[in-house]
């Protein structure tokens, strides 16, 4: 039976970086669900659709073609046959992704694809509602967080390294906006479920977080209890 680890948490907590390393160590598939919502947002932006317009987004979803490939634990995501793995990593798309993610029409389609992948592959999946909604029976659930100052600093440095022109204040404000959006949405909001293990990564390096998750997987997951 396929095994699964769910890693949830707010924007900039390091979920993607950590999930990639955990999946590589376990030889699982890594699935970046946030990239899927970013791709929806990119499609809307390119189509000149307001990412807050539920009606137009619902119509757009009927003609949305998203495919995902994995090669040596590297996920690539395609929109209408075009690789958009880098194009979805802008500040504008980040805000758009948080906007589109509040709508059930968007989430239901993305969750269907996420569950389909997890049904026949060992996965480490990260996002906002993996443990609470997408994979409620995951073998291990992690809630990864960090202070907003640290999360903003990490994201700011990431964007600067990619050549984007942003200010730390702008990144922090957008992060707070996303936190509020993700936590307050009516459908499948960001939340820590009772059976998730919380890890605060503010003062931890990447490898320390990875080691903690692997320890919890080996000692506290449903796999180890069965």
Claim: this prediction has a pTM higher than 0.75: yes
Domain ranges of the chain: 4-217
Q: What is the pLDDT of residue 59?
A: 96
Instruction: List average pLDDT for each run of 10 residues in the chain, which is 226 residues long.
Output: 95 92 95 93 98 97 91 87 95 92 93 93 93 96 97 93 92 91 87 96 96 95 73
pLDDT of the residue at 205? 94
Residue 226 is predicted with a pLDDT of: 62
CATH fold of 4-217 = Rossmann fold (3.40.50)
Distance CA 82, CA 147 (A): 36
Q: So what's the pLDDT on residue 5?
A: 97
CB 142 within 8 A of CB 6: yes
Residues ≥6 apart with Cβ < 8 Å to 50: 44, 56
Our CA dihedral for 188, 111, 87, 65, rounded to 10 degrees, sits at -140
- How far is residue 133 from each of residues 97, 173, 212, measured CA to CA in Å? 18, 27, 24
Q: Looking at residue 188, what is its pLDDT?
A: 85
Give the whole-angstrom CA distance, residue 63 versus residue 197.
38
């Amino acid at each position: 039976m396929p095994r699964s680890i769910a890693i949830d948490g707010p924007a900039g907590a390091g979920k993607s970086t950590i999930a990639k390393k955990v999946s590589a160590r376990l030889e699982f598939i890594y699935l970046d669900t946030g990239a899927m919502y970013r791709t929806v947002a990119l499609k809307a932006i390119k189509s000149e659709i307001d990412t807050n317009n539920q009606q137009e987004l619902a119509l757009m979803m009927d003609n949305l073609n998203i495919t995902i490939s994995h090669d040596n634990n590297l996920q690539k995501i395609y929109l209408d046959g075009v690789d958009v793995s880098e194009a979805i990593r802008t500040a504008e798309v980040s805000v758009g992704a948080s906007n589109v993610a509040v709508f059930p029409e968007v989430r239901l389609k993305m969750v269907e694809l996420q569950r389909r992948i997890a049904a026949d592959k060992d996965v480490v999946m990260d996002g906002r509602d993996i443990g609470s909604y997408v994979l409620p029976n995951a073998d291990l659930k992690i809630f990864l967080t960090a202070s907003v100052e640290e999360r903003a600093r990490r994201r700011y440095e990431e964007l600067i390294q990619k050549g984007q022109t942003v200010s730390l204040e702008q990144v922090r404000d957008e992060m707070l906006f996303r936190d509020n959006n993700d936590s307050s949405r009516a459908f499948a909001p960001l939340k820590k479920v009772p059976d998730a293990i919380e890890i605060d990564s503010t003062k931890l390096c990447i490898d320390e977080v990875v080691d903690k998750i692997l320890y919890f997987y080996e000692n506290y997951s449903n796999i180890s209890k069965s």
